[in-house]
Amino acid sequence: MAVSEPDRSTAADEAGAAAEIALLGQPNVGKSTVFNTLTGLRQHIGNWPGKTVGRKEGWIELEGQQQRLVDLPGSYSLTAGSEEEQIVRDYLQHQQPEVVVFLADAVALERSLYLLSEVLALHKRVVVGLNRVDVARRHGIHVDAQALARALGLPVVPLVARDATGISELLASVEALRRAPERCQPSPPQVRPRSAAALARIAERIRPAAPAPYDPHWLAQKLLEGDPQVREWAEAWLSAAEWEALDDELHRHEEVVLDILGARCDWVQSIVQAAVERPRAGQASWTDRLDRVATHSVGGPLLLLALLAGVLGLTFQIALPLQGWLDATVVQTAAAGAEALLAPAPGWVSGLVVDGVITGVGTVLTFLPILAIFFTLMGLLEDSGYLARVALLLDRLMHAVGLHGKSALPLTLGLGCNVVSVVGTRIIESRRERLLTILLAPLVPCSARLAILAVLAPIFFGDWALLATLGLIGLNLAVLAGLGLLLHRTALRGESSAFLMELPLYQRPQLRTTMYHVYAQLKEFVHKAGTVIVLAATAVWALSSFPGPGIESSALAQIGHWMAPLGDLMGLDWRLIAALLSSFVAKEVAISTLGILYGLGEGAQGLAEALPAAVGPASGLAFLTVAMLFIPCMATVAAIRQETGGWRWPAVSIALLLGVSVLGGIAVYQGALLLGLGGGA
C-alpha cells in the first residue's frame, strides 16, 4: 500500500511555484465553510477538465506568500464509482499537492477515517482538520486530538469551522508541515500476510507496464477491489496474454477484497478506540426532532411543498421586479444613450450596438438577481442539511424517470427560468443524473413560454384558451417524463445511483460563507455564459437585419422560406417559422417577431385581429406546441455549455428538442386536421 515517498517530494520540488494545497473531505463535513473562510472573495469556480464537476480554487496566504488552494470534490471513498472519486484520486497522483488538508468530522469520525485510509495510500503529507468538535461534544462524543494525532502519525487540528475557530492554527500547521514534511509518519492499513502475498504478486504483474505516477501496489489493490477504471487501464497497458493471466490471478484471489476492506475497517476501529471517548449516549437532538416532521410520510411532503413555494415565491417576488427595474433603467438608458450617440453613424452600427450587444448584455444583467436569490436560498437550505431530506422524499417519484430525488428542485425552479434550473443542477452529485436533469430541464415551461401561451392562446382559441393552455403545459410535462424514461433506458443508461446517502445533522446555515459562494457562482456565470449570450444575441440580430431592409427580407426570413416544406407538415408558414427561430434569443421574442412579420410593428394588440385571419386553429395549435417544446433559448444553451464544460451536451440538447418539437408539431397538426380543426396559414 505504501507509495514510495522520495519520488513524490522531488516531483513536488520540481513543480516549484505550482505547488498547491488541496482541501479534501467527505460530503457534509463542512468543506465549503472552511474553503470560504480561508479564501473569502479570492476564489473562482471552473470545471475539472472534461468533467461536469465544478472545480473551486482560491488563494490563501502562507508565510507571506500567496498559495493556491484547490477544493477537491467531496467523496466517501476513492474507488472509481463516481466522477468525483476519479477526480480526487487522479489529482492526488498527478498533481501531488504540497500538503493535503483533510477535513474529518468529529461527529462521524469512523466515516472520515475510512476515506483517510484511502487517501494515505496515495498521499502522505496530510494535515487533519478535525471539524465540528463542538457538535460532537454536545452529542457526548469526546475526540482527543492529541491521541488522534499519535494514532494517525499526522498533525491534527481541532476546528469549529462555522465560527472560524482553529482556522489560524490549521494554517500554522500547514506551514509547519511544508517546512518539515517528515512530521508525517502515517501507518496505513495492512492486510493479512496471506492477502499481502497475493497483492504483491499482482503488483509485480502490472509493475512493468504501469506508467508514472501510478504505484503498482495501489493499482493491485484497486484491481482486487474490482475498480472498473483501473481494470480498463490495466487491460490497455498489458498485452492480451498478460491481461488474461492477470485476470485469472484476480479471479483466484477474489476474496482478497474482503481482507482489504476488513483491514481498512480494523484500522479505523483501532484509531477510534485510541482517540474517541463516548461517556454517554447522545440525547434527542434537533436533528431527531426536525426529522420527525421532515422525513414523515405526510408531514415531509407538505413541508417540502411549503418550502418550494417559498423559494419560488421569494425568488420571483424579489427578482422579477428587480429584473424589470434593471431592464427599464440600466438597459433602456444604455440603449437610448447609445442610439443618440450613434445617430450620425450608419444605421447598422446603431443596430449592432443597441439590438445586438446591448440586448445581450442586458439579458445577462437581468438574470443576475434571479440567480443570486436562488443560489442564496439553495445555499442556505443545503448548508442547513435539509436538501438531503428532499432527495430522500422525492427519490421514488424522480427515480421512475431515472432522475435523482434532488432533481426535483432545479426542475421546479425551471417554471421561472430554465437557466436557473440548468445551473441549479449543481446540487446533484451523480454525473449521469445531473446530465439527464440538464437535458430535461428545457422541457419545463418557463415563465417566458407561459407568457407566449397567455398572449397567443386566447387569440387562436378564444373560449377554449384555458383548456388549450393546460393541455400544452401537460404535453410538456408528459414529454419530459417520456423523454426521461427513454434516455434513462437508452443513451444515459446506467444504474440510477443506488440510494444510499448520508443525512447530515441539521445546523443553522451561515449567511456569510454562503454569500462568498454565491458571489463566485455569479462571477462564473457572467464570465462564461455571459460571453456566449452576448455573441448569440449579436448573431441573431445580424441574421434578422441582413441583407435587409427589414426583417421581411432578412436571412432569418430566407431560412423560414427554405424550411417551408417542413413547415407545411406542421401547418406553419415561413413567418411562423421565422418567429420560432427568433425565439432562440429569448422565448418571448417570438411574439414581437410575429408582430413585425404580420405587418403590425412590435406589440401584441394588432395580433388579435391579424393572426386568426391568417392562421387557422390547427396551425395555431401546432405553432404553440412547437414553441413550447422548441430548442432552449440562447441563455439556457450557454448555461448548459457552462455546466457541462463543452459544446457536446448543448448540441445534444438542441438536436433532441428540435426533433421532439418537430415531431410534436407534425403529430398535433395532423391530429388536429383529422379532428376537423381548420388548418392552413
DSSP H or E run through 65: strand 65-71
Minimum distance of another protein from residue 252's CB (angstroms)? 12
Residues 367-396 that bind another protein (CB under 8 A): 388, 392, 395-396
Instruction: Give strand ranges (E) for 254-379.
Output: 276-277
**Residue span binding another protein (CB under 8 A) among the ranges 164-172, 222-230, 376-384, 449-457:** 222-230
Q: Is residue 364 within the footprint of another protein (CB under 8 A)? A: no
Among residues 153, 79, 114, 122, the alpha carbon closest in space to that of 265 is found at 114
Distance in angstroms (rounded) separating the CA atoms of residues 488 and 519: 34
Return the range that interacts with another protein (CB under 8 A); candidates 168-176, 303-311, 499-507, 630-638: 499-507
Q: Extract the C-alpha cell encoding 637.
A: 444553451
225 binds another protein (CB under 8 A): yes
Element (H, E) at 27: none
Half-sphere exposure of 275 (CA within 13 A, CB side): 27
- Distance in Å, CB of 406 to another protein, minimum: 12
Applying CB under 8 A, among 122, 141, 357, 580 the residue interacting with another protein is 141
Rounded to the nearest 10°, the torsion over CA 418, 419, 421, 423 is 160
Tell whether residue 262 is a contact of another protein (CB under 8 A): yes
Under the binding rule (CB under 8 A), the answer on residue 501 touching another protein is: yes
Closest approach, Cβ 404 to another protein, in A, equals 12
Q: Report if residue 270 touches another protein, rule: CB under 8 A.
A: yes
CB 162 within 8 A of CB 112: no
Q: Is 247 in the site for another protein (CB under 8 A)?
A: no
Give me the least distance between CB of 134 and another protein, in Å please: 14
Is 472:624 a contact under the CB 8 Å cutoff? Answer: yes
* Position 616 contacts another protein (CB under 8 A): no
Binding another protein (rule: CB under 8 A), the pick from 110, 163, 277, 602 is: 110
> Stretches 35-43, 121-129, 287-295, 338-346: which one binds another protein (CB under 8 A)?
287-295
Give the nearest distance from C-beta 388 to another protein in angstroms: 8
How far apart are alpha carbons 146 and 498 in whole angstroms? Answer: 38
255, three cell numbers: 476474496
Nearer to another protein, 70 or 108 (CB): 108
Q: What is the 3-state secondary structure (H, E, C) of 561-572?
A: HHCHHHHHHHCC
Q: How far is the CB of 26 from another protein (least distance, A)?
A: 8
The least distance separating another protein from the CB of residue 432, rounded to whole angstroms, comes to 14
The verdict on 271 binding another protein (CB under 8 A) reads: no
CA within 13 Å, CB half, 454: 9
Segment 290 to 329, residues that bind another protein, using CB under 8 A: 291-292, 295-297
Among 25, 216, 410, 504, binds another protein (CB under 8 A): 504
Say how many CA atoms lie within 13 Å of 475 toward its Cβ.
22
Q: How would you class 125 by CB atoms within 10 Å of its CB: exposed for 0-12, middle for 13-18, buried for 19 or more?
A: buried
- Peptide bond connecting 612 to the previous residue in cis, omega within 30 degrees of 0: no
* Closer Cβ to another protein, 141 or 615, answer by number: 141
Interface with another protein (CB under 8 A), residue from 19, 261, 308, 539:
261
Looking at beta carbons only, is 76 or 525 nearer to another protein? 76
**Closest approach of another protein to the CB of residue 108, in Å:** 5
Nearest to 528 by CA among 2, 78, 55: 55
Instruction: Give the burial string for 187-200 (b: 16+ CB within 10 Å, else e).
Output: ebbebeeebbebbe
Residue partners of 14: CB distance under 8 A and separation at least 6: none
Residue list 28-67, contact with another protein (CB under 8 A)? none
User: Quick check: 505 binds another protein (CB under 8 A)?
Assistant: yes
Contact status: 88 vs another protein (CB under 8 A): no
Which residue in the block uniquely carries the three cell numbers 461527529? 107
Segment contacting another protein by CB under 8 A, of 15-23, 72-80, 143-151, 510-518: 72-80
Which stretch in 31-39, 158-166, 223-231, 511-519 sits in contact with another protein by CB under 8 A? Answer: 223-231
Q: State how far the Cα of 527 lies from the Cα of 368, in Å rounded to an integer.
A: 12
Whichever of 92 and 533 has its CB closer to another protein, that residue is 92
Backbone angles phi, psi at 38, to 5 degrees: -70, -40
Instruction: Give the nearest distance from C-beta 250 to another protein in angstroms.
Output: 10
Interface residue with another protein, options 111, 162, 449, 587 (CB under 8 A): 111
Output 225 or 327, the one with its CB closest to another protein: 225
Give yes or no for residue 643 binding another protein (CB under 8 A): no
Among 90, 144, 242, 502, binds another protein (CB under 8 A): 502
- Please state the closest distance from residue 296 (CB atom) to another protein, in A: 7
CA distances from 317 to 172, 310, 365, 374, 586 (A): 46, 10, 18, 12, 21
| Least distance between another protein and beta carbon 97 (Å) | 22
Using CB under 8 A, pick the residue from 253, 264, 404, 517 that binds another protein.
264
Report, in Å, the least distance between residue 185 CB and another protein.
24
Nearest to 68 by CA among 38, 90, 46, 93: 38
For position 257 contacting another protein by CB under 8 A, the verdict is yes
Taking CA atoms, 78 is separated from 31, 88, 104, 120, 198, in Å, by 17, 7, 16, 11, 21
The residue (of 295 and 670) whose beta carbon lies closer to another protein is: 295
Q: Residue 494 or residue 680: which is nearer to another protein going by CB?
A: 494
Of 66, 168, 187, 269, the residue at the interface with another protein (CB under 8 A) is 269
Is 282 an interacting residue with respect to another protein (CB under 8 A)? yes
Identify whether the C-beta of residue 614 lies closer than 8 Å to the C-beta of residue 598. Answer: yes
Which of residues 68 and 231 has its CB atom nearest to another protein in the complex? 231
Residues 6+ apart with CB under 8 A from 346: none
Residue-wise over 631-670: b if at least 16 C-beta within 10 A, else e? Answer: bbbbbbbbbbbbbbbeeebbebbbebbeebbbebbbebbb
**CA pair distance 375, 423, nearest whole angstrom:** 9
**Site residue total, another protein (CB under 8 A):** 49
131 burial (CB, 10 Å; 0-12 / 13-18 / 19+) is: buried
Question: 494: helix, coil or strand?
Answer: coil
Which C-beta is closer to another protein: that of 136 or that of 537? 136
Q: Does 353 bind another protein (CB under 8 A)?
A: no
Residues that bind another protein (CB under 8 A): 76-77, 79, 81, 107-111, 114-115, 136, 139, 141, 225-227, 254-255, 257-258, 261-262, 264-266, 269-270, 273, 282, 284, 287, 291-292, 295-297, 388, 392, 395-396, 498-505
